[in-house]
Structure 1
Amino acid sequence: MKYLLSGLLVFSALASRAQAVSHRDRVYTADQISNTVSVIDPADNKLLGQIILGKPQPDILSALYKGQALVHGLGFAPDHKTLAVVSIGSNNLTFINPATNAIKGSVYVGRAPHEPTFKPNGKEVWVTVRGEDYVSVIDVATMRETRRVQVANGPGMVAFSPDGKLAFVCSSFSPELTVVDANTYKIVKHIPVVSPFSPNIFPTKDGQQIWFTHKDVGKVSVLDVKTLSIMKVLDTGPITNHVTTLETSQGKVAYVSVGGEDVVKVYSREPGFKQLATIPVGSLPHGIWSSGDASRVYVNLENGDSVVAINTATNTVLAKMKVGQAPMALVYIPNAVPAGSPETANLGTQLVERPSVVRELKPVGAGAAGGSLVLRSEGLVDLASFALRNLAPNADYDIYLSKTAQAPYSRDYPLLTVHTDAKGGVMAQTLGPVQDVKNADLGIGSKAYQRVVVAAKAAGNAPVLVSE
């Protein structure tokens, strides 16, 4: 009881130093398939509308002359007056005024940029160009690239030390963390890390630690900024996506979205790095950020097309909001809009009423193979997204619909063929009338259920995964 009261007093003191959640705050999500930025008022957890940057994904299969494709990354200026949005398909960085939701301008960078991060002085935004091997430095005033910082292949994201002297760049293709002098743009150190796929990085406010995720192996590394050495590697779980650090009644903590388990995990940042909580949130949590007063944490559900708000005092879900399709990055901006600003200025709606369908793919017989299928209606067609794991490495597999209810599962409606990586995993998408395939076309009369089957491509090979 004494510890609980002490913790609550600490939380109250911390909260008193930051503005409580208000109608002037905003939560933003980058919706990759609908190509929108969803805008939420966190005071009442209400979706206000969407900033429409492009057409939904099936409409961008021809030449793209206008609009953006694959809206994915987010960052905001220290003065909270600019939101930066990365679109990985159109190689674009869009600047938005949060007060009006209006586009201020944009700049095109190299192949497949991933995330934008503003320098603490607000004069530059560093964009990781993941399809190449450099960070693009953009002058915020002119919205022009001024230089490129050469780093390891596939930079994922940048985190700055609070004083702005150092930049830390994680990589999506190289097993290293690159430390850069942010004033001279020179490399300070290359730090080996546990895996080559680190999509997200987040500093602590006190500048003592840098946390970054390893999505491919389900881990989080913690860097000691003073010694520039890895002080801890945490086993967090499959598809560890994003991390955010904050101070709550539990002390100095980190919240981690673990997509493969549909949970957010909470860890102490003190020596020992004890896990404090596991919070079920929904299908494939991805982007994550805390409110200005640390009373809440917001997390995207990539497969659920939603955002969940978590109460950090109880580590329970307090609200859920529908957003655009496949939300990826998420940021929370305190005091994003002036008092009295029109809530829905320059906002539209590009929501799909038909909900996404998530199907688990289970192994046929014994084995560790597994996966999931997400179906999203896109008008006349559906977008089917597959994530498969623990199959044979470097092998081809067919995915198809079957009219039969049990093995050997006839191959009645082919969807696509995929090739696994060296670890037996693969992520893939296809477009087609998957949800609306008429059962009569498959010769199964009035039965309303289709099985999704995964089998090795070679003729005669038995299925390895099937939907329920």
Structure 2
Amino acid sequence: MAHSENQALAVAARMRLAALLLAASLLGAVVSEARAGLRVFVTNEKSDDVTVVDAESGTVLKTLAVGKRPRGVTASADGKRVYVANSNSDSLSVIDAAGLVVIATLPAGRDPEGLTFNRDGTLLYVVNENDSAVTVIDVASSRIVKKIEVGTEPETAVASPDGRWVAVSNETSNDIHVIDTAAQAVVKKIPVPKNPRGMRFTADSRRLFVASEQAHVVSIVSMETLSVEKSAPTGGSRPVDIALSRDGKRAWVSHGESGDVRVLDTSTLDVLATIPVGPRAWWTALTPDGSRLYVTVGRAGDIAVIDTAAGKVVARIPAGKLPWGIAVVEVP
């Protein structure tokens, strides 16, 4: 009898263990499914809000009220926070990227527009268009720690992948100011064609691609010589932003007036294809795998989704009034 009871107890114990393992497995699946995943954050400068889209389904998850005339947008490296520059409120809105709530509002200098993090994510560089300056914010304390004078009407800022530089495009002085992040000072002013706006560094940080809106050209800046090594017309009207493929061989250039995205060979700057997207094609963002390019289409009030392999628009997602900036964020 004792032996039989021991067998029964052993069987029951094994069943309980199996149930616990199954429960743990299911819980892990639920947790995995609960991950927010890839989200697209779009600033709408006329409706003073941010449209948040689930990248997988293309569904609008939420519209968040922020400050007045939101423009630039970027995310922390861990994907937990999204920062929005509110140009007419002189502030930044900080969004919890998973919970989709505004958790803080920070001072950001006068007329903030573009913004970028340094390599380790400890500092946020905010371009102040009407102040001809860049405000540097310590992320941990949310305090302004420095103000750096740059050119006239600075538009945006991008950080080099190696962490050495922050480049600032200046629309009216027609130059790029290069900030040495170690010295926190401008070390070079590089003249470029008229009205520079969007920029992208190559993955090796050796070159900087610049779109000059009123000159209708894209330029390549050598970061070794800190000078323009090549400029070429895009064939479109008023280029605004540039996205680079992961292998660095292709550039996608949005055009506000001709309403398209031109695909360029980055070695020659030859135009390989033209993709119509709609009026006021503005800022761009690639998915991490490079398979999709998101473009804000201001006059259409939506976001165009381009399949980069097929070279065509495969979806359109509604946004707010006059969508401007865009960021694709891997949210934990």
Q: Same fold (TM over 0.5)?
A: yes
**How big is each residue's C-alpha offset from its partner over 1:155-208, in whole Å with a ceiling of 9 and x where there is no partner?**
21111111211111110221211111111112211111111x223222122212
Alignment counterpart, residue 272 of structure 2, candidates 273, 276, 294? 276
**How big is each residue's C-alpha offset from its partner over 1:201-245, in whole Å with a ceiling of 9 and x where there is no partner?**
221222122112212222222111222121221212322121111
- Distance in 1, matches of 2:103 and 2:211, equals 32
Match of 2:249 in 1: 252
Match of 2:76 in 1: 77
User: Contact conserved, 1:223 with 1:230, CA < 8 A, in 2?
Assistant: yes
Match of 1:176 in 2: 175
State whether structure 2 residue 200 is matched by structure 1 residue 187: no
User: Contact conserved, 2:161 with 2:205, CA < 8 A, in 1?
Assistant: yes
Gaps (5+ residues) in structure 2? 1-34
Of 38-47 and 211-220, deviating more is: 211-220
- Distance in 2, matches of 1:107 and 1:90, equals 10
State whether structure 2 residue 143 is matched by structure 1 residue 130: no
- Distance in 2, matches of 1:313 and 1:209, equals 24
Alignment counterpart, residue 26 of structure 1, candidates 20, 39, 54? 39
State whether structure 2 residue 325 is matched by structure 1 residue 326: no
User: Contact conserved, 2:54 with 2:60, CA < 8 A, in 1?
Assistant: yes
**How big is each residue's C-alpha offset from its partner over 1:264-303, in whole Å with a ceiling of 9 and x where there is no partner?**
0011112x22211100112221111100100110101100
Secondary structure (helix, strand or coil) at the match of 1:267 reads strand
Match of 2:312 in 1: 316
Give the TM-score, by structure 1 length.
0.61
User: Contact conserved, 2:62 with 2:100, CA < 8 A, in 1?
Assistant: no
- Distance in 1, matches of 2:144 and 2:103, equals 16
User: Contact conserved, 1:79 with 1:122, CA < 8 A, in 2?
Assistant: no
Gaps (5+ residues) in structure 1? 1-21, 54-67, 339-468
- Distance in 1, matches of 2:287 and 2:299, equals 23
Alignment counterpart, residue 43 of structure 1, candidates 43, 46, 56? 56
State whether structure 2 residue 148 is matched by structure 1 residue 149: yes
Match of 2:26 in 1: none
Compute the displacement of 1:148 (Å): 0.5
**How big is each residue's C-alpha offset from its partner over 1:86-141, in whole Å with a ceiling of 9 and x where there is no partner?**
01111111111211112231222332111111111100110000101210001111
**How big is each residue's C-alpha offset from its partner over 1:308-360, in whole Å with a ceiling of 9 and x where there is no partner?**
11011110111111111100011111x21x3xxxxxxxxxxxxxxxxxxxxxx
User: Contact conserved, 2:162 with 2:204, CA < 8 A, in 1?
Assistant: no
User: Contact conserved, 1:110 with 1:131, CA < 8 A, in 2?
Assistant: no
- Distance in 2, matches of 1:126 and 1:133, equals 13
The answer to which structure, 1 or 2, has the higher relative contact order (CA under 8 A, 6+ apart) is 2
- Distance in 2, matches of 1:246 and 1:240, equals 18
Match of 1:301 in 2: 297
Q: Structure 2 matches for 1:318-357, cutoff 5 A? A: 318-333=314-329, 335-336=330-331, 338=332
- Give the paired residue count: 297
Supply the AA of the counterpart residue of 1:207.
S
Secondary structure (helix, strand or coil) at the match of 2:249 reads strand
Match of 2:259 in 1: 262
Secondary structure (helix, strand or coil) at the match of 1:120 reads coil
- Distance in 2, matches of 1:95 and 1:232, equals 38
- Distance in 1, matches of 2:159 and 2:36, equals 29
**How big is each residue's C-alpha offset from its partner over 1:22-65, in whole Å with a ceiling of 9 and x where there is no partner?**
96101111100111110111111111121112xxxxxxxxxxxx
- Distance in 1, matches of 2:92 and 2:143, equals 10
Identical pairs, percent: 28
Match of 1:211 in 2: 209
Write 1 or 2 for the structure with the bigger share of strand.
2
* Structure 1 segments (4+ residues) deviating >3 Å: none
**How big is each residue's C-alpha offset from its partner over 1:440-468, in whole Å with a ceiling of 9 and x where there is no partner?**
xxxxxxxxxxxxxxxxxxxxxxxxxxxxx
Q: Structure 2 matches for 1:86-105, cutoff 5 A? A: 86-105=85-104
User: Contact conserved, 1:136 with 1:145, CA < 8 A, in 2?
Assistant: yes
Compute the displacement of 1:150 (Å): 1.4
Secondary structure (helix, strand or coil) at the match of 2:196 reads coil
**How big is each residue's C-alpha offset from its partner over 1:398-441, in whole Å with a ceiling of 9 and x where there is no partner?**
xxxxxxxxxxxxxxxxxxxxxxxxxxxxxxxxxxxxxxxxxxxx
User: Contact conserved, 2:169 with 2:177, CA < 8 A, in 1?
Assistant: yes
Supply the AA of the counterpart residue of 2:260.
V
Supply the AA of the counterpart residue of 1:289.
A
Compute the displacement of 1:70 (Å): 0.6
Match of 1:220 in 2: 218
Of 206-215 and 136-145, deviating more is: 206-215
The alignment yields a C-alpha RMSD, in angstroms, of 1.5
